[in-house]
Amino acid sequence: MTEYLIYSQSLENYIIDLSSYIFVLILFYLIYLSNYIDRKTLIFFSLYSATPFFVNDFLFSSTLLWDQYTNTYYLIDFRDHILNGNYQNYITNMKSQERKLVLGAHLYGLIPFIFVNSINTIAFANKLILGLTSFYLLKNKYIKKSHLYFLLLFPATIIYSSLSLKEVLLAVSSIWVIILFDKKKYFLVVFLFSSFFLLRPQFY
Could you read off the pLDDT of 93-115 as tens digits, one per residue?
776 666 666 777 888 988 999 99
- Please, which pLDDT band fits residue 197 given cuts at 50, 70 and 90? low
pLDDT given for residue 203 in this prediction: 45
Question: Residue 203 carries which DSSP code?
Answer: G
Is 1's pLDDT higher than 50? no
Q: What tens digit of pLDDT does each residue of 144-196 get?
A: 999 999 999 999 999 999 999 988 988 898 899 889 898 888 888 888 877 76
Query: Positive or negative, the Cα torsion across 56, 62, 68, 73?
Result: positive
Is 47's pLDDT higher than 70? yes
Mean pLDDT in the chain?
87
- Please, which pLDDT band fits residue 199 given cuts at 50, 70 and 90? low
pLDDT given for residue 194 in this prediction: 76
Is 204's pLDDT higher than 60? no
120 CB neighbour count, 10 Å cutoff = 27
Query: Of 139, 129, 88, which is closest to residue 108 (Cα–Cα)?
Result: 129
Give the integer Cα–Cα distance in Å for 196 and 94. 19
What is this structure's pTM? Answer: 0.89
Give the integer Cα–Cα distance in Å for 204 and 170. 9
Is 201's pLDDT higher than 80? no
**Which residue did the predictor score with more confidence, 198 or 161?**
161
pLDDT given for residue 190 in this prediction: 87
